[in-house]
Amino acid sequence: MSGSAAPRPARTYATGAGTRALRILALLCVAAITLWLLLRYTALPETIPTHFDATGEADAFGSRSSVLLLAGVMVVLAALLAWLSTKPRHLNYLAHLTDENAQRVYREGERLLVWLLAALVPIYLGLLLSMLGGPGTALVVGGLVAMPVLVLVGAVRMSMASTPRT
C-alpha cells in the first residue's frame, strides 16, 4: 500500500456530563480498590489463590505479591481506557468517517470505551475479593458478561451514528 489516508475531521463535540461522570467515577473506584488493597497488603497471608476454575474454586496458589501484579495491570488498563476515551479521533471504526458523521461516531466511540472502563471495575474488585477469600465470582462474571454486550451495543450505536441524517 502506498500513500496515506485522508486526515480525519477534528473533534469538535463536547463530552456529555454523564460520560464525564462515569469516567471519573470508574477511575475513582479503581483508585479506591487499589488503595484498599495496599492498606490490607501486609495483613494478607503469604500464599493466596491466583487462579480459579469455572466454578470459582481456587486451583492455583502463589505469593501475596500476585495481587500487586493484578493491581498494576488493572490500574494501567483503566488509565489507558480512560485516556483513549478522550481521543476518539484516533480510534479505528468500522464506518467510513465523513465531516457529517464524524462527531456522532466519535461520541459513540468515547462512550463505548468509558462503559468498558466501568465494566472493568467489578472485574477488578471481584478478582481481588476472590484472591482474598471473599465472594468475588459474581462480580467477575457480571463484568465479563457485560463487556461483549457493551461492545455489541457500542458497535450498533456507532453504525447508526455513521448513517446519514435525513
DSSP letter for 44, please: S
Residue 9 is assigned to a structural domain of this protein: no
90, 109 in Cβ contact below 8 A?
Answer: no
Residue 152 is assigned to a structural domain of this protein: yes
Residue 5 is assigned to a structural domain of this protein: no
Which range of residues forms the domain containing residue 54?
17-162
So what's the pLDDT on residue 62?
Answer: 86
pLDDT tens by residue, 37-88: 999 999 888 988 888 787 778 888 888 898 999 999 999 999 999 999 999 9
So what's the pLDDT on residue 75?
Answer: 98
CA angle 67, 145, 81 (to 5 degrees): 60
Q: CA separation (Å) from 155 to 32, 54, 89, 141, 161?
A: 31, 29, 16, 22, 10
Number of domain units in the chain: 1
So what's the pLDDT on residue 133?
Answer: 80
Residue 57 is assigned to a structural domain of this protein: yes
Residue 86 is assigned to a structural domain of this protein: yes
- Cell numbers at residue 109, please? 466511540
Residue 4 is assigned to a structural domain of this protein: no
Residue 10 is assigned to a structural domain of this protein: no
Cα gap 156→98, rounded to integer Å: 18
- Give the predicted TM-score (pTM) of the model: 0.89
| Element holding 60 (H helix, E strand) | strand 58-63
- Tell me the sheet residues that pair with 51: 60
pLDDT exceeds cutoff 50 at 1? no
